[in-house]
Structure 1
Amino acid sequence: MMSASSPDLSAASRVHLPEGTWPTVLDFLVDRFPSVGRDAWAERMREGRVLGADGLPIAVGDPFRAGAVVRYFRDVGAEAVIPFAERIVHVDEHLVVVDKPHFLPVMPAGRFVEETLSRRVVRALGNPDLVALHRLDRGTAGLVLFSACPSTRDAYQRLFRERRIDKTYEALAAPLPDLTFPLTRATRIERGEPFFRMREVDGEPNAWTRIDTIDRRGDRWRYALQPVTGRKHQLRVHMMGLGAPLIGDALYPDPMTEDPTDFSNPLRLLASELRFVDPLDGRERVFRSDRILDD
């Protein structure tokens, strides 16, 4: 049984409780993570593996409180090692910027816990309060912002909520010689089938991406993608909708069986630049990735 007095909180996953009417924390967790099951969550609680923000155990009957932070320890088997290194670009009291490699998840999920960017950065900097302010798909490489200080976290989170951060991605895909660039792709994106894929549907647009070209040589053009909104898989779905799915995409246009130990064909998508006005001191901040997409 885990000691509740000195748990390694840096190894825990974290969830912020939203507004809702769940009677207990257990009821929320069962609803939020149905694949785990009520009995398994209750067992984790009895073993002291579900904790509050203060590191103290949450009991089976503890009431749900919107806004609270819950930390929990997940059950995973042996993880496949991701043989690529992240690079820490910037560190200060409030903000950490990390350049993520392809294939490395940002947050613990599914079969990955230790082999995630969050866990690696927490270990490297020794700060269990580090929280990713946004996410990249596992297959996407590039820049990720982390909040390093709980008291200033919401100021940086508001940059994303209020669309006050400019994100530029580079991507490799087939040529689109019949289109005039730059252009804006504005469509409605909703969840498709299977549930983890998204699709464009008729209706009022809810996703906008500015698209331009960087290099038009050969049979793989290099594109600059600037998402205005942040729908799941938005860039991948928009490029597919134009007729040029990204090179190395295992989901679009057709999902392929993924081998977690095969690193031979990465998704050619890179979060190459982040630009914003720092909410704490008003100065412009620009961060750029040193990575180069391999043709």
Structure 2
Amino acid sequence: MDRMIGVIGGSGLYEIDGLEDATWVSLETPWGAPSDQVLTGSLSGVKMAFLPRHGRGHVHTPTTVPYRANIDAMKQLGVSDLVAVSAVGSLKEAYAPGDFLIVDQYIDRTFAREKSFFGPGLVGHVSVAHPICARLAGHCTSAAQTTGVRVHQGGTYIAMEGPQFSTKAESELYRSWGADVIGMTGMPEAKLAREAEICYACIAMITDYDCWHPDHDAVDVAQVVAVAQKNAAKARDLVAALPALLAGPVSDCPEGCSHALDSAVMTAPAKRDPEMMTKLKTVAGRVL
């Protein structure tokens, strides 16, 4: 099977430049409609699929993003490698606005979102001890380095519910936990990609220092948007560099992402809910 690279764009990244045969396609999923149509095409001979996480025009809040529908849609299209681009705040002095950080861990502090494709009638427990595909993250680091942006490899992303930014006390708490960046959309996206057996990596585009920093004691939308727009050009350059690094047929991921469900389903076959079986056909059909 030919490789297809998926990109989910966050604040500031609403399209991919240079796609050949670019077409916006509408998809339906058992979890509702995705955030928007998906832009499909090819870049340097490699198939690509792009989805704006918040929708064109930024219409979805971090909480209302239809995460399950988005991941199901990517799986429907045959995406094998999914790169998420997310605007974040920095919790470390060394990670400055304008820098990129390639995430390798998460702390999930969200509480108002559906976080799994599985549920009553079809129970599944998937390991997310290592939520990022190290192979794909390595390629993202290499691609980022070609753009001239300052890139940091590895870091912990704390996902907050939002839509408000942190209080100073919260920001200091998260720093004490050792988190590196803070955002609102990293979870449950990474967990759902793992359940769908899609290799997933996250490029965190740093827009601000959150409110802990003495010189940045308040975060406002204007500041975030201004830096995000500057970062977006670098992000598009990074995406353009990925096909050369990922070209070739799809094979089993050496990190185990493509077999994440091998021992995850707990419900006995005779007890599985037929309706849930139908809903999970795309993301978990391989093991069902």
**Greater C-alpha radius of gyration:** 1
Q: TM-score, normalised by structure 2?
A: 0.28
- Higher relative contact order by CA 8 Å / sep ≥ 6: 1 or 2? 2
The structure in which a higher percent of residues are strand is 1
The structure in which a higher percent of residues are helix is 2
